[in-house]
């Protein structure tokens, strides 16, 4: 039987680790654990790897975060994406996702804590350029640099009215870009893991995560199939809260997390603007959106979660995937910068859910139940960190299962590509709100 096709009729089956979820994070964990010789099983309710919220990811690769450890993790991951075939141990790039290096530009605005961001970049040796307004206008023809903040929704009478002053410039980071197909990236990881013996079971929901004497014993599917393992990892994305509710015991997660509705709209700008090239990634807090170049010269526009954009919590098993006025608002915000953009009243795009924590930083941690681990709250800004998260979770499980008390003596995790050691307590389930956080999708 192929390693990737587990037969659910053989019960109970025993594994070293069971991973709930086969998105980009779950597959990255499986790949790294399989490389370490562990027998793993990923269980997912959907029909294929990366089929859920991963497939809707903007797949942005950038190297600026509000915290030092978040920045370091992203820079480490950038090296993995830049050398994707080598990361997977592949002999060619045939059938692999493609990393497109464009660089990323973050506008200097009153709401950006760029001093902190640049301090982290300097500490880690991440190169950047300070751009003047003239350089921005030269790079992006027709981009209006008037200020419109505070960010507004379209029902505000002052929407679209300049509020005085101009954008003072920006910071361009060379190390950045995007992955052309996030779902294929997840499948690449799944296939690489399967070649190492990892198993995957799709179209299967978990009904219970049993525990005895405060130690997980595996999982039970909704069809009654039993899969045994001393370690279970919740990497279920927007379903992670529901999955925690299936545990025999309390996972002890203090930081809040919930599935939030997100919409990304796609716009084709006029050819006269010269935006048909691959362009660059832009974060513009003054208008509350990020802009990513897409296929066919399109621009993808999403929210940077300004205060006026209401957090909408959805049921991951029952939500509408059609765009709403939220997406239209993002497009019109960009049209403040590009008056000739042209916005359809029925735009194309995607609507999906983010599993976001209260401070928008992930939880990579053990839980209060032995053997049950968490890779949750990852949506929105952790796609780029997936490979590093896989290495971190592999090391964290080994550290805890060897008898170390991660809560009192947190794992110190040495990164692979850069000279930095992560304090894994940064991603603790028990943390208070991270004061440095941008409290937005920027992390």
Homologous superfamily of 100-175+258-355: D-Amino Acid Oxidase, subunit A, domain 2 (3.30.9.10)
How do beta strands 199-201 and 40-43 pair?
parallel
- Burial of 98 (C-beta count, 10 Å sphere; 0-12/13-18/19+): middle
Compute the distance between CA of residue 132 and CA of residue 145 in angstroms, rounded to an integer: 11
Distance CA 283, CA 108 (A): 10
Check pLDDT > 70 for residue 24.
Answer: yes
Structure tokens at 52: 């859920």
Rounded distance between C-alpha atoms, residue 245 and residue 87, angstroms = 35
Q: Mean of the pLDDT values across residues 103-116? A: 89
Is the model's pLDDT at 147 over the cut of 70?
yes
Residue 274 confidence (pLDDT) above 80: no
Residue 95: phi and psi, rounded to 5, are 80, 5
Rg, the chain, Cα only: 22
**What's the confidence (pLDDT) of residue 344?**
75
Please state, in angstroms and rounded to a whole number, the distance separating the CA atoms of residues 403 and 108.
47
**pLDDT at residue 276 is higher than 60:** no
Crossing angle of helices 182-195/386-401, nearest 10°?
A: 40
The whole-number average pLDDT for the span 407-428 is 98
Give residue 5's pLDDT: 43
Report the range of poorest mean pLDDT among 21-35, 278-292, 411-425: 278-292
Question: How large a percentage of the chain has pLDDT more than 90?
Answer: 86
Output phi, psi for 354, to 5 deg.
Answer: -105, 135
- pLDDT reading at 114 higher than 70: yes
Pairing of strands 170-173, 104-107: antiparallel
pLDDT in tens, 159-193: 999 999 999 999 999 999 999 999 999 999 999 99
**Residues above pLDDT 70, as percent of the chain:** 96
The pLDDT tens digits of the residues spanning 358-368 come to 999 999 999 99
| Predicted pLDDT of residue 269 | 78
Mean pLDDT of 51-75: 95
Choice between 439 and 198, residue whose per-residue pLDDT is larger: 198
Give pLDDT, residue 275. Answer: 59
Residue 277 scores a pLDDT above 90:
no
Mean pLDDT of 278-283: 84
How much is the mean pLDDT over the chain?
Answer: 93
List the 177-179 sheet strands across, edge first: 60-61, 177-179, 99-101
Query: pLDDT for 334-356, tens place per residue?
Result: 999 988 887 877 788 999 999 99
**Rounded mean pLDDT, 284-306:** 90
pLDDT at position 176 is: 95
pLDDT at position 272 is: 63
399 forms bridges with which residues in the sheet? none
**Residue 334: closest CA among 349, 314, 322, 315:** 349
> Distance (Å, rounded) from C-alpha 256 to C-alpha 236?
16
Domain boundaries, the chain: 100-175+258-355
């Amino acid at each position: 039987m192929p390693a990737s096709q587990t037969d659910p009729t053989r019960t109970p089956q025993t594994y070293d680790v069971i991973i709930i979820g086969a998105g980009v994070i779950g597959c990255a964990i499986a790949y790294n654990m399989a490389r370490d010789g562990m027998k793993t099983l990923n269980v997912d309710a959907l029909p294929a790897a990366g089929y859920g919220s991963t497939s809707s990811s903007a797949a942005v690769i950038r190297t600026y975060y509000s915290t030092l450890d978040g920045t370091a993790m992203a820079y480490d991951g950038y090296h993995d994406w830049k050398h994707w075939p080598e990361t997977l141990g592949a002999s060619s790039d045939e059938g692999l996702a493609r990393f497109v290096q464009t660089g990323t530009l973050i506008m200097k605005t009153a709401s950006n804590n760029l001093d902190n961001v640049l301090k982290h970049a300097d500490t880690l040796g991440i190169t950047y350029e300070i751009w003047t307004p003239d350089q921005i206008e030269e790079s992006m023809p027709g981009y209006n640099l008037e200020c419109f903040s505070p960010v507004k929704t379209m029902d505000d009478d002052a929407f679209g009215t300049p509020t005085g002053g101009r954008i003072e410039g920006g910071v361009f980071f060379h190390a950045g870009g995007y992955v052309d197909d996030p779902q294929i990236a997840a499948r690449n990881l799944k296939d690489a893991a399967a070649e190492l013996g990892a198993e995957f079971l799709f179209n299967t929901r978990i009904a219970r995560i049993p525990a005895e004497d405060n130690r997980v014993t595996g999982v039970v599917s909704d069809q009654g199939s039993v899969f045994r393992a001393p370690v279970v990892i919740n990497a279920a994305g927007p379903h992670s809260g529901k999955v925690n509710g299936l545990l025999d015991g309390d996972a002890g997660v203090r930081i809040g997390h919930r599935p939030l509705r997100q919409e990304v709209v796609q716009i084709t700008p006029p050819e006269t603007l010269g935006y048909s090239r691959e362009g660059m990634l832009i974060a513009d807090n003054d208008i509350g959106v990020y802009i990513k170049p897409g296929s066919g010269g399109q621009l993808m526009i999403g929210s940077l979660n300004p205060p006026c954009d209401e957090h909408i919590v959805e049921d991951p098993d029952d939500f509408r995937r059609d765009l709403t006025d939220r997406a239209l608002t993002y497009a019109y915000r960009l049209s403040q910068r590009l008056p000739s953009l042209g916005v359809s009243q029925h735009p194309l795009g995607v609507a999906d859910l983010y599993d976001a924590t209260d401070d928008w930083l992930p939880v990579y941690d053990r839980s209060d139940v032995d053997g049950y681990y968490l890779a949750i709250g990852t949506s929105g800004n952790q796609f780029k960190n997936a490979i590093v998260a896989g290495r971190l979770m592999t090391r964290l499980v080994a550290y805890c299962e060897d008898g170390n008390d991660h809560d009192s003596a947190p794992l110190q995790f040495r990164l692979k590509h850069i000279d930095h050691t992560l304090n894994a307590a940064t991603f603790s389930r028990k943390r208070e709100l991270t004061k440095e956080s941008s409290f937005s999708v920027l992390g």
